[in-house]
A and B are shown apart, each in its own frame.
Chain A
Amino acid sequence: MIRDAAAHGRSLAVSGTGSRPGIGPGPADAALDLTGLGGSIDHDPGELLLTLPASTPLDYVESLLAQSDQCLAFEPPSPDAIWGRGHGTIGGAVASGLSGPRRAFAGACRDHVLGLSGVTGRGEIFTAGGKVLKNVTGFDLPRLLTGSRGTLAVMTQITLKVLPLAPAQATLLLPADTPAKAVRIMADALLVDGGVTGAAWSEGEVQLRIEASPAVLLALVDAARARLPASTLIEGDASRALWAAIASLYGHAHADDIIWRCPLPASRAPALAALLPPDARLRLDWAGALAWVLLPADAKDLDMHALVRQATGRDGHAERLRGPASTIPARAPLEPGLAALSARVKALFDPAGILSPAAAPGGAA
């Protein structure tokens, strides 16, 4: 099908269940629906490996792993909170490349994709990476394809590194009325190795998650409280529920809010905050290295790319995950040298430019 489309220059919108419309394939001549991909699921808890078809529903993956007290350590955010179209597939999670709160501590999505099989835009069926934890054989295509939004190749099978689920957790809540205070508290919390696996800020409060085995959790919590400002503590399921909410934008996004996602150095988050209009709402994750900006619908033409550039120089970027049609592109153009290189990479995988052309990074299409 891909070969035929390439021969006729007919573009394909590569998609699973369509759960991420804001960053999905965009318009194309035809749809390439991957939900029918077959294949078996091979989970080997002792080897920390999971191999599965790209079409496997994400919530099924998580419940499967939970049966062995394991998880996807990068905590893939559920697209349902942003787009309200279900939890999507593992293929969509990897193609989007988005990582949740644990990213700053356990690594990003791209760090947990060990191998994959797929089809290039030339119709070649290929395999890359491997089914082992440690592998440097050949170019790292799994990392390149993670987050490539289906614009380089169509992933059909994915091998992931899975990790044990921490058996116990607690969260410290620390008052912080400004982003500057919040970023300071989070940086201080991470100056020592104390089992922190989440650090976020919203509504005037820093949330610090500590995970460990039950035998040591309290000792870690006590140590953290001893060196940080006064805090209140929530434990167990209450803590889990809070982080599920943080991973899904706290449920705070109003139905018609515009949602911008801005990775940046944590220390620049206060500068970005200072540039935002008064009706913007800011949430921080990754100890401040990820800013979520929620804007009312009438701010659709606010140029977040310019604000992030002003706050971070070249060290941050912004992507609009959701919002009405706007004069501002969802992703900013890449710098010229990077755009040219990205375009060459795209052309090597997909010379006819048929795979989700609207989703290629700025300048690479």
Chain B
Amino acid sequence: MKMPVPDAAVMARQAQIAAALSAIVPDGVIADADGVSPYGSDGLVMYRQSPVAVVLPRTTEQVSRVLAWCHANGVKVVARGSGTSLSGGALPLADGIVLGMARFNRILSVDYDNRCAVVQPGVTNLAVSQAIAHKGFYYAPDPSSQIACSIGGNVAENAGGVHCLKYGTTSPNLLGVELVLMDGTVLRLGGPGQEQAGYDLLGLVCGSEGLLGVVTEATVRILPKPATSRALLLGFPSVADASDCVAAIIAAGIIPAGLEMMDAPAIRAAEDFVQAGYPTNVEALMIAEADGSVAEVDDQLARITTIAGAHNCTHLRASTDEAQRLLFWAGRKAAFPAVGRIASDYYCVDGTIPRRQLGAVLGQISAIVARHGLGVANVFHAGDGNLHPLVMYDAAVPGQTEAAEAAGAEILMACVDAGGVLTGEHGVGVEKRDLMEHQFSAIDLEVQSRLKCAFDARGLLNPGKLFPTLSRCAEMNAMHVHDGRLPFPELPRF
């Protein structure tokens, strides 16, 4: 992975940088090699890089002053939540600091009448739901890492989960943020209402992978918990039957709360690991979950059962109680570690395809990994076409890590060629950065990436991620006919 050439002058100033930032955040700067080591990588463990320093601010004012100082001194910044990104979004830069947001760990307010909560970015996803559970509410997006991943990271990556088809990813569930720009400007986008004035900058910031600003507060939409949830376990003799069944369910006007699929290797790995009662003699297993009132859930599951019967479903079980429903999910949610048991290493790929291409793309995936001498297990958010092939390899065998990466890249290109996209929920980060040119034209990328010039014209926030190259903002600014009267000097600052 090629990163931008580090600025040796910045690295040489490490002590001075640490001292200056300590003056802003006393007891919140880590600069020794052992101390910064745990921050050296995120969930994409293939890559590792120590930063110049780690700064752990507690207040928005500190974030603003740290960013303003780094802006003035040409020091790059990578914001980090819990470090669970699977695409290297929080991978440090050799000539930059890591801005760790873990101390922003409070839920500031919950407003049940307006159905929203104001939370700090270091709060974990699951903690939001837990804090409001006693009132019968929850926060809908539920990425698999929800016990650890932070809301700030969720906003940066527009994180998804297994209930996206019905409840959406982070973006539709995000009402507002407090955002600090690289120059220290503090802005509020959106709020407790359902619509912001002016351009949808909130929508732009959500999923911008830490390139546009640092979120110091988020207002999220909360929902009353469904009265009941039940799941069906459905086994099929072929992936094609299962995938036709998914299309038929949707075409019948049913939007299940969850619609997951696993292929045979994933089923067997999960069953060996957690004994969820999965049938091991089927080629595809589907979990279909309905939620809502008891009558609604019964009705939906009955209709799904009928449709499955018409698509050669050979194994059917409905959860009879909450424990069993959770057991059905336990296998699916443990699919990654389960694959980790049968392979010494695995590489989780994340692409989205039009669902009808599933059979063809799975065939291509098998061929790709076979060509690289590796194995694969597939789990699939079937409802919204989001595919997670888990490429199995052994990092101890020379060449296999590179082979797994190469196979992952080929799989993602196959997704794009099938009419899909490079990432459904894990983000581009460093992992898929160089594949962006496969999905987008040079002009498409230019139109996107130059937006960074409006937020961070010096390119100091998380450079080297998301885009293969960044626009030269100075050239861009020369074309700004309005720049002469932009009110820069009056920007509110702390």
Spell out A's residues near B (CB within 8 Å).
44-49, 69-70, 97, 99, 103-104, 107-108, 110-111, 120, 124-128, 130-141, 143-144, 146-148, 152, 163-165, 167, 183, 187, 190-195, 212-213, 215-216, 219-220, 223, 263-267, 286, 289-290, 312, 314-317, 319, 331-332, 334-349, 351-353, 361-362, 364
Contact = CB atoms under 8 A, between A and B. Distances in A.
Contact of B447 (A141, A266, A344, A347): A141
A140 B158 contact: yes
Contacts of B303: 213
A331 B197 contact: yes
B494 to A, nearest CB: 12
Given A265-B193, A317-B196, 14 more contacts: A132-B352, A133-B385, A134-B385, A136-B424, A137-B422, A138-B445, A147-B199, A192-B227, A215-B299, A312-B193, A336-B490, A341-B454, A351-B480, A351-B481
A340 B491 contact: yes
Contacts of A191: 112, 136, 224
Interface string B182-209: 0001111101111111111101101110
Interface string B221-234: 00111110000000
B119 interface: no
A187 B490 contact: no
Interface of B: 111-115, 136, 157-158, 160, 164-165, 168-169, 171-172, 181, 185-189, 191-201, 203-204, 206-208, 223-227, 247-248, 250-251, 253-255, 291-296, 298-300, 303, 352-356, 381, 383-386, 419-428, 432, 436, 439-441, 443-451, 453-455, 466, 476, 479-483, 486-488, 490-492
Contacts of B451: 139, 144, 345, 348
Given A267-B114, A347-B482, A137 B421 contact: yes
A216 B224 contact: no
A230 B205 CA distance: 44
Nearest to A125: B443
A130 B439 CA distance: 9
A44 B251 CA distance: 9
Nearest to B292: A193
Contacts of B381: 134
Contacts of A125: 443
Contacts of B227: 192-193
A46 B250 contact: yes
Contacts of B225: 193
A103 B199 CA distance: 18
Nearest to B164: A134
16 contacts: A70-B253, A134-B169, A134-B386, A135-B424, A137-B421, A139-B449, A139-B451, A193-B292, A213-B303, A219-B296, A315-B191, A317-B193, A317-B197, A344-B480, A349-B447, A353-B482
